[in-house]
Amino acid sequence: MKAILFDAPGGPEVLRYGDAPDPQPAEGELLVRVRATAVNRADTLQRRGNYAPPPGASPILGLELAGEVVQPAGPWQTGDRVMAVVTGGGYAELATVPAGMAMRIPDRFSFEQAAAIPEVFLTAYLNLFTLGKLSAGETALIHAGASGVGTAAIQLAHAAGAQVIATAGAPEKVAFCRDLGASLAINYKQEDFAERVLAFTASHGADVVLDFVGAPYWNANLRAIATNGRLMLIGMLGGSRGELDLGPIMAKRITVTGTTLRRTPLPEKIALTQAFVAFAMPRFEQGELRPIVDSIYPLHTATEAHRRMEANHNIGKIVLVVA
């Protein structure tokens, strides 16, 4: 099969389009003909040698896919259109998927649209609801609101009846966050987001904070968060080290949780997938939720897709068409 490969860590230029062995599904796994996949920050980190795949995972990049079943397992049949999160291998013509992780693609979505759903929507659902316990009437602060996970999180929180505040770094991205359902969108390059959050919520703060940045946002997040708030750390784009003040955590009874979907045990990921399907699929069918596709590239031009992500030009997902 054809796949995107790299021989040594480095910049986008190390990626190459070449031949790789066909994957062999284990018991309970589907073999899927991949029609589209999408770029995630984790892919760029793995390409640079900073995010090794977990034991047993494919070394090929790609954490999500959309395609057709060619070797079925469980309830699935040959030819079924499925989308899924995978631990690796999405940047290829064929990939294996645990049967319990596969989700049926709504008829109204193309493979390109479907590929923009699994990783970001499941990550957002896990952190907002399963771990963050966000409920209707609460306030969610979502950083990087125009990113893949950010655009998914804004929609999910809004659909659940929460008030959404988002941050972004460009006027067009701020406007897009409002269009998706954010009650307040803040340009973090021009304003102190903690002050804006407190003013907007009458000093209550955000009940759940979804943060991709890490250390540079730590103190401002603790100012912006509500008493009994939940701070969900899902990225460290700005770095992982800094001065730590434990006082606000104790004074506000804040819960801090860090997680990565990729290393979540399979039974938990299957349970997460089932909960997400029950919540989100009817909303996708009705148009209340939608995948946000920024741009589409052929698989062999993955280098250019990675460059676009690393330049932070995208709003939503960068999709790769495989076949």
Q: Which domains does the chain have, with CATH numbers?
A: 2-117+263-321 (3.90.180.10), 121-259 (3.40.50.720)
Q: How confident is the model at residue 241 (pLDDT cuts 50, 70, 90)?
A: confident
Span 85-90, mean pLDDT?
Answer: 98
Residue 245: predicted pLDDT: 78
Q: Is the pLDDT of residue 121 over 80?
A: yes
Neighbours of 245 (CB within 10 A): 10
Q: Is the pLDDT of residue 244 over 80?
A: no
Q: How confident is the model at residue 308 (pLDDT cuts 50, 70, 90)?
A: very high
Residue 240: predicted pLDDT: 65
Residue 183: predicted pLDDT: 98
CA gap 263, 276 in Å, rounded: 18
CA gap 165, 183 in Å, rounded: 6
The values of phi and psi at residue 293, to 5°, are: -100, 115
Per residue in 273-292, pLDDT tens?
Answer: 999 999 999 999 999 999 99
- Burial of 77 (C-beta count, 10 Å sphere; 0-12/13-18/19+): exposed
CA gap 79, 88 in Å, rounded: 22
Tokens of 200: 């907007």
Residue 296: predicted pLDDT: 98
Least confident of 131-135, 188-192, 243-247, 271-275: 243-247
Neighbours of 23 (CB within 10 A): 21
State the chain's mean pLDDT as an integer: 96
- For the chain, give me the number of helices (H) and strands (E)? 10, 15
Span 4-31, mean pLDDT?
Answer: 98
Span 243-268, mean pLDDT?
Answer: 89
CA-based end-to-end distance of the chain: 11
Do residues 111 and 320 touch, judged by C-beta distance below 8 A?
no
